[in-house]
A and B are shown apart, each in its own frame.
Chain A
Amino acid sequence: MRRIIPVAVLLGAACSDLISPTRVPPYEYRQFVSSGASGIDTLTFRWPRSFLPVRIWVADNEPLRQPILTAISRWQGALLFGEFRAELVSDSSRADVIVRNVPAPGGIGLSRIRLDALAPECIGATDIRTDGTLTQVILPMRVYIWPRFSPQNPNITTCYEITATHELGHVLGIISPNHSPDPGDVMFSNPVFNGLSDRDISTAEVVSHITPTLTPTGRR
């Protein structure tokens, strides 16, 4: 019996599997658009694994650089199975996502999806250009994050972190313009939470495993 117990313990250890956590339900991540007489079309997006790491450009001397790095680290850490990886590139002409510290331009046109964020001290917007058939995302995506008031506001760095994380959530594939209904999520439309909630993470996990209707094209 004394010999059997350690052998049984060893065999048990040799066969053990990780047990997954219980996940909270995701919020809406899809975009619904009118498709003429036929009704409503559902748009979904995620990055194909062959596009990873996603190339992000942000100017070296911009105050957004560190917030974008924080945002990348947060979403990469949230997705445990390599579903999303991103890196900063020095050449904007090779970028899949271009981030600028200026107000978003007006007049986005019909073939663009604009997703906003209105944080207390700064504003964010992500523009995703689609083709006419609404089956492709034409790269690069463009992210704008800029101060609402003075760029010298003492809370501006925190606001940039919140908004960079929010906008990168859109880049990742959370493209519902209705956002999360909960202020405890970074994907709330007027985000105040500086991090990722359990709901943000479970939504990103769902998005990262869908069969998307939109695929990226035009990578340079």
Chain B
Amino acid sequence: MQFPALLVIALVIVTPLGAQTTARLTLGGTMGTALASDELGGPVSLGAGVPVTAALSLAHPIGTGYRALVEVRAGRGSLHADNNGESSSIPGLTTVGVMVLVDGPVTSRVRWELGAGLLNYRPAERSGVFGQGGPTPWILGGGLSWTRPLSGTLDLVANGRYDFHQFRSRQLDSRGYTQYQAVHRVGLGIGIERSF
């Protein structure tokens, strides 16, 4: 399913935007484990580095204390290759994730969140593992958000997120690689949340 379609479906779930709808915008970074690794005269691996990450989400109450969230999370950075200890970077890797999450209270200021969605890899150039384009795997994730009121409708928010997906590209397929590489990512962001 394409991202715009998923986004439209997700937005329909949370609309109409009522009085308690909140929007959240955070900026931060994400660290992840390797996208691919192999043994070629020594260990070689490819990772997504630490991309700058922006996340925009809309939340709507779905029950006492619980909310449904639709989130778009975009990261921009470089691919980092490690060839037997010799490293290089390949600029221009964007990831765009769309997730539907549920969150609930832990304490008055801390909320948990859990959800699923899709993550699209958008390389600047078709080369290496992205020689035939970027994949769009399913993603599962969860985290914690901490908020502190700034004014009547505005909160400061800090968000920690863990997510997981399985990576394999068409280029890896065509070269005979099988199975998937489990990719674990941890992201931290800080921003604002506003109620409408």
Residues of B within 8 A of A35 (CB): none
Digitize B119-147: 1 where CB-to-A-CB distance is under 8 Å, 0 elsewhere.
00000011111011000000000000000
State the CA gap A153–B127 with chains docked (Å).
32
Q: Is there an interface contact between A16 and B181, defined as CB atoms closer than 8 Å? A: yes
Determine, out of B5-13, B23-31, B107-115, B167-175, the stretch whose residues face the partner at the interface. Answer: B167-175
Digitize A81-96: 1 where CB-to-B-CB distance is under 8 Å, 0 elsewhere.
1110100000000000
- The tally of CB-CB contacts under 8 A between chains A and B is 103
Determine, out of B58-66, B81-89, B98-106, the stretch whose residues face the partner at the interface. Answer: B81-89
> A19 contacts which of B42, B46, B179, B182 (Cβ < 8 Å)?
B179
Digitize A1-42: 1 where CB-to-B-CB distance is under 8 Å, 0 elsewhere.
000000000000111111111100000000000000000000
Residues of A within 8 A of B84 (CB): 209
- Tell me whether A48 is interfacial, beta carbon within 8 Å: yes
Q: Is there an interface contact between A49 and B131, defined as CB atoms closer than 8 Å? A: no
Residues of B within 8 A of A16 (CB): 166, 179-182
State the CA gap A82–B128 with chains docked (Å).
6
The bracket for how many chain B residues form the interface is 35 or more
Determine, out of B32-40, B68-76, B150-158, B185-193, the stretch whose residues face the partner at the interface. Answer: B32-40
Determine which residue in B36, B42, B127, B175 has the highest number of CB atoms from chain A within 10 A of its CB, and name it.
Answer: B127
- Tell me whether A79 is interfacial, beta carbon within 8 Å: yes
Residues of B within 8 A of A101 (CB): none
B40 closest partner in A (C-beta): A209
State the CA gap A209–B179 with chains docked (Å).
24
Q: Is there an interface contact between B127 and A48, defined as CB atoms closer than 8 Å? A: no
- Chain A interface, number of residues (Cβ within 8 angstroms): 29
Determine which residue in B40, B83, B84 has the highest number of CB atoms from chain A within 10 A of its CB, and name it.
Answer: B40
State the CA gap A125–B6 with chains docked (Å).
53
Cross-chain pairs A/B with CB under 8 angstroms, 28 sampled: A13-B166, A13-B180, A14-B164, A15-B182, A17-B179, A17-B182, A18-B36, A18-B179, A18-B181, A19-B179, A22-B176, A48-B86, A49-B83, A49-B88, A52-B88, A76-B125, A76-B128, A77-B132, A77-B171, A82-B46, A82-B81, A82-B83, A82-B88, A82-B89, A85-B90, A209-B42, A209-B83, A209-B84
Q: Chain B residues in contact with chain A, CB under 8 A?
A: 36-42, 44-46, 79, 81, 83-84, 86-90, 125-129, 131-132, 164, 166, 168, 171-172, 175-182, 184
